[in-house]
Amino acid sequence: MKEEGNLENRPSNTAFTQQRLPAWQPMLSAGVVIPGFLVIGLAFIGIGVGLLITSRSIQVLELDYTGTETNSPCNKCTTLPIQNNCVCKLNFTIDTLFKGPVFFYYSLTNYFQSQRKYGASLDYNQLSGDLTYFKSPASDCDPYRYANGKPIVPCGSLANSMFNDTFKLYQIVNGKENLVPFDGKGIAWWTDYNIKYRNPDYSPLENAFNDTEKPVFWSKPAYKLDTSDSSNNGFVNQDFLVWMRRAALPNFRKLYRRITEGDYKDGLPVGNYSLEISYNYPVKSFDGTKKATFSNVSWMGGQNEFLGIAYLAIGSMCVVMSVVMLIVYAKFRFPEDD
């Protein structure tokens, strides 16, 4: 006979092993969810209204300068064979004050920066300033790895296809063209400029690029990208960095300059303007368009009404649902749901 308590195999009688842990058992029934729906609905409507107002307050001006239409001033640049220094001018008028700070973007459509092999076609080690990769770039860079027997720096399709249109904005005051100053500093991510992309520790920078070739499509080597500012050259050139951050979607815009200085600090005043474009980048091959975009920004970024509308719609739906739930609750409630 077994002694009491000598039951070796007896399972331990704890709440866990007996699956009796105290538990919260949410009951998904109409009565319970009414307040939830109502609160979420109202909150969403509030957010939606806020978003919509913010989005509406943002001004956007888009100028298509692809030049496919024959009456477009830039049409002349598309017909020519690829060449440098085709300049076209776009005139436009601003009716109300374009509040500052104004951001100036270039937009491309139908451009697949997200293409996998295109995105992979670079060498991060090279771009972080490692000189060994100057001599032998990664194989990912093919077919823009070597040119004329010399390694290409920066190698790869992504760098090679860098956007090279340049813009100048003039305000036409009494027939005279006033240059609107562009601010090209800090348009790229801080981390890109300071950590991810590094120039080799050479002074002058040019020497580091000895025995290398500039990318095939480029008109000037990397160390000469910005002639006015020596610190804006090489891999940490702001335009280069902006380009290298690949756009997620085929229709995208990229920040080109900001208008933050001088008379235009508070925005672009009413008046006639002229945008001088040096038209270099071909878009015919991908049936794309090029646009110049002026926009001011808010806390939610650029203009986009979608989120505001979505929040409003879902919020109202939740409110409606809570009414429906109320009806359902009245009709079908459990007798014990008191």
Partner 1 sequence: MTWRSPLALMRDAILSQKAREKELRSLVSNLPFEGLGKSKQPNRFFKSNAIKTNKYTPLFFIPMNLYEQFHRLANIYFVGLAILNFIPVVNAFQPEVALIPICVIMFLTALKDGWEDFRRYQSDKKLNNTPCLIYSRKEKRFMERRWKDVRVGDFVKVVSNETVPADLLLLHTSDPNNVCHIETANLDGETNLKQRKAISGLCTSSNVFEPESFNWTVVCEKPNNNLNHFKCFVEKPDREKTGAGIESLLLRGCTVRNTEHSVGFVVYAGHETKSMLNNNGPRYKRSKLERRLNVDVFFCVLLLFIMCLIGSLGHYLWLKGLSDVPPFLVSDSKGHLDSPGLSSFYMFFTMIILLQILIPISLYVSVELVKIGQIFFIVTDVDLYDEETDSRVQCRSLNITEDLGQIEYIFSDKTGTLTENKMVFRRCSIMGTEFAHKENANRLALLEETTESEENVIFSQPSPSSQASWYLEDEDFNPVDTHHHGSRRRSKMAVNAQSGMAFSSPLETQVIPDEKLLQQISRSERSSSRNSDPYMDFFLALAICNTVVVSMATTQRPRVRSSSPSHQTYNSLESFSSLVKRWNIFDTPKRNSSPIEDSAGDDANGVQPCSSDPVTLSARPAAASEDLCYEAESPDEAALVYAAKTYGFTLLARTPDSVTVRVPSGEELVFEVLDTLAFDSNRKRMSVLVRHPITREYVLYTKGADYAIMELLGTPYAEHLSGQQKKIATDTQYHLDCYAKDGLRTLCITKKIVSGREYQSWLVDRKRALAAIEGREELMMDSAVQLETQLTLLGATGIEDRLQESVPDTITALREAGIKVWVLTGDKPETALNIGYACRLLEEEDLVINMSCKNKVTCISILDCTLEEVRRFHADPRNVDTTQKISLMIDGDTLAIALSPDLQDRFLDLAKRCRSVLCCRVTPLQKSRVVKLVRDKLKVMTLAVGDGANDVNMIQAADVGIGISGQEGMQAVMASDFAISRFKHLKKLLLVHGHWCYTRLANMIIYFFYKNAAYVNLLFWYQFYCGFSGTAMIDYWLMIFFNLFFTSTPPIMFGIMDKDVSAEMLMGVPDLYRTGQGSGEYNFLTFWISMLDAFYQSLVCFFVPYLAYQGSDVDIFTFGTPLNTSSLFIILLHLGIEIKSWTVVHWIIMLGSVALYFIVTLAYSAICVTCNPPSNPYWILQNQMADPMFYLICIISTVVALLPRYTFYVLKNSVAPSPLIQAKHLDRMKPSVREMWMKEWRSLRGGMEVKESRLSTPPSPTLETSVDFYPGFGDAASFVGDDLSLNVLTDQKPVDT
280-319: contacts with partner 1 (CB under 8 A): 284-288, 299-302, 304, 306-307, 310-311, 314, 317
State how far the Cα of 74 lies from the Cα of 61, in Å rounded to an integer: 18
Binds partner 1 (CB under 8 A): choice among 168, 196, 202, 269: 196
Q: Which is nearer to partner 1, 30 or 171 (CB)?
A: 30
289 Cβ contact partners less than 8 Å away, ≥ 6 residues apart: 64, 66, 68, 107, 108, 109, 110, 283
State how far the Cα of 250 lies from the Cα of 248, in Å rounded to an integer: 7
Q: Which is nearer to partner 1, 31 or 100 (CB)?
A: 31
Residue 312 CA, chain-centre distance (Å), reads: 25
Q: Which is nearer to partner 1, 114 or 272 (CB)?
A: 114
Binds partner 1 (CB under 8 A): choice among 45, 67, 74, 107: 107
Least gap, CB of 113 to partner 1 (angstroms): 6
Least gap, CB of 299 to partner 1 (angstroms): 6
Nearest to 169 by CA among 180, 158, 160, 159: 180
Binds partner 1 (CB under 8 A): choice among 131, 207, 220, 332: 332
Least gap, CB of 216 to partner 1 (angstroms): 10
Q: Torsion angle, CA of 190/195/197/199, rounded to 10 degrees?
A: 110
Q: Please name the helix (run of DSSP H) or strand (run of DSSP E) that holds residue 63, with its range, or none.
A: strand 60-64
State how far the Cα of 306 lies from the Cα of 310, in Å rounded to an integer: 6
Least gap, CB of 20 to partner 1 (angstroms): 5
State how far the Cα of 46 lies from the Cα of 311, in Å rounded to an integer: 8
By CB under 8 A, residue 52 contacts partner 1: no
310 Cβ contact partners less than 8 Å away, ≥ 6 residues apart: 48
Q: Which of residues 232-261 bind partner 1 (CB under 8 A)?
A: 245-255
- Only segment of 3-11, 80-88, 200-208, 260-268 that touches partner 1 (CB under 8 A): 3-11
Q: Which of residues 123-182 bind partner 1 (CB under 8 A)?
A: 123-125, 128, 138-140, 142-143, 145, 157, 160-161
Binds partner 1 (CB under 8 A): choice among 9, 70, 132, 210: 9
By CB under 8 A, residue 33 contacts partner 1: yes
- Only segment of 175-183, 190-198, 227-235, 265-273 that touches partner 1 (CB under 8 A): 190-198
Q: Which of residues 67-106 bind partner 1 (CB under 8 A)?
A: 105
Total chain residues near partner 1 (CB under 8 A): 99
State how far the Cα of 43 lies from the Cα of 75, in Å rounded to an integer: 50
Q: Which is nearer to partner 1, 41 or 171 (CB)?
A: 41
Least gap, CB of 171 to partner 1 (angstroms): 25
Least gap, CB of 240 to partner 1 (angstroms): 14
Query: What φ, ψ does residue 239 adopt, rounded to 5°?
Result: -65, -40
- 85 to each of 77, 156, 165, 239, 281, how far by Cα in Å? 9, 25, 10, 19, 11
Least gap, CB of 109 to partner 1 (angstroms): 9
State how far the Cα of 154 lies from the Cα of 221, in Å rounded to an integer: 9
Least gap, CB of 170 to partner 1 (angstroms): 25
Q: Torsion angle, CA of 190/194/199/204, rounded to 10 degrees?
A: 100
State how far the Cα of 95 lies from the Cα of 272, in Å rounded to an integer: 9
